[in-house]
Amino acid sequence: MRVALLLLGSMLLFSSWAIGQTVSGNLEGRIIDSTGAPIPGVNVSVVGPNLIGVRGTTTGDNGSFRILALPSGHYDVRISHVAFQSKTVAGVRVPLGGTVTLSDLRLTPRALEAAEIVTSGERPLIDITSTSLGENLTHAQLEGLPLERNYQALSKLLPQQNESYYGDGVSVAGATGLETKYFIGGVDVTDPIKSSSSTNLPYNFVREIQVRTGAYEAEYRGSLGGLVNAVTYSGGNEFSGQVYAFFTNNDFAGTPRQ
């Protein structure tokens, strides 16, 4: 009976001793900035020859972290944060059944350079900010076309505009040529007596032309057809200019001149 009790006690003693043993160690630490304030959200990872893959965690609000159940051995501790320079602590030994503390690891802030952001898009076919109808023509669209040498003729390239049947200019939206108002640089240049343009320009001077064919504001009184608004070239930071000439002789005429 005594022998049985001794054997039972020995088994309980050795079994409790075996259960209490550990096969790993722990790693903990605290990360702060240059002022000593804790840094939350820092990524902490460990790699080593005794570890399969990578183990990691993030720091809490007080800047502390803890990685449990690491196989005993040597590890490299890698620390990274988007607002701070990365840091590596090499050769940290985690003992069997022990905890290694890396206290107050200080990180240095780094300046971030954001990549250039370029946005692009196409202009919608319908201008939702205006009720008027019409279209624009730019010099880039016009420079390669054989056109008359005045900006009034440019509007005939657009829809709803044709040479007036009465020979009085460009007919816009079915009106006669006398019912169109002309503007140069926002200034009304329409003849107040005959309602025809009193000022003309070579189309080479025109940077852009806008033709409005309807639903425009009531301030443009007296215009039952359309509005033709041209803007000329202005100065800029770069020196530039144009040179052009016109030449005609009998070789270009159906009936030779005398």
Return the SS3 of 199.
Answer: coil
Single out the residue of 202, 109, 104 nearest to residue 152, CA to CA. Answer: 202
Residue with tokens 């720091």: 59
The string of pLDDT tens digits covering residues 55-109 is: 999 999 999 999 999 998 899 999 999 999 999 999 999 988 889 999 899 999 9
pLDDT of residue 118: 82
| pLDDT band for position 23 (cuts 50, 70, 90) | confident
Tell me how crowded residue 243 is: count the other CB atoms within 10 A of its CB.
5
The pLDDT assigned to 45 comes to 95
In this structure, what token pair is assigned to residue 12? 């309980």
Separation of alpha carbons 191 and 135, rounded Å:
24
What is the overall mean pLDDT for the chain? 79
pLDDT at 17: 44
Top CATH class, 133-236: mainly beta
In the chain, where does the domain assigned CATH 2.170.130.10 lie?
Answer: 133-236
CA 39 to chain CA centroid, Å, is 32
What separation, in Å, do the N-terminal and C-terminal C-alpha atoms of the chain show? 150
SS3 string, 243-254, reads CCCCCCCHHHCC
Q: Cβ atoms within 10 A of the Cβ of 87, count?
A: 16
Instruction: Give me the pLDDT at residue 41, please.
Output: 95
Give residues with Cβ within 8 angstroms of 38, minimum separation 6: 30, 31, 32, 59, 61, 62, 63, 64
Query: pLDDT tens-digit profile of 109-125?
Result: 987 777 888 877 676 66
How confident is residue 16, by pLDDT bands cut at 50, 70 and 90?
very low
pLDDT band at 35, cuts 50/70/90? very high
Contact 180, 229 (CB under 8 A): no
Closest CA to 199 of 185, 179, 218: 185
> Is 45:89 a contact under the CB 8 Å cutoff?
no
Tokens standing for 154? 């440019």
pLDDT digits (tens, 9 = 90+) for 204-219: 778 888 888 777 777 7
CA geometry: angle 136, 142, 145, nearest 5 deg:
140
Amino acid identity for residue 25 in this structure: G
What pTM value is reported for the model? Answer: 0.46
pLDDT of residue 54: 92
How far apart, in whole angstroms, are the C-alpha atoms of residue 87 and residue 96?
Answer: 26
Residue range 24-106 forms a domain whose CATH class is mainly beta
What is the location of CATH 2.60.40.1120 in the chain? 24-106
Task: Say which residue, 42 or 194, is predicted with more confidence.
Answer: 42
Residue 102: its pLDDT value, please? 92
For strands 161-163 and 226-232, give the pairing: unpaired
The pLDDT value given to residue 18:
44
Choose from 34-43, 118-127, 185-194 the range with maximum mean pLDDT: 34-43
What is the per-residue pLDDT for 256? 62
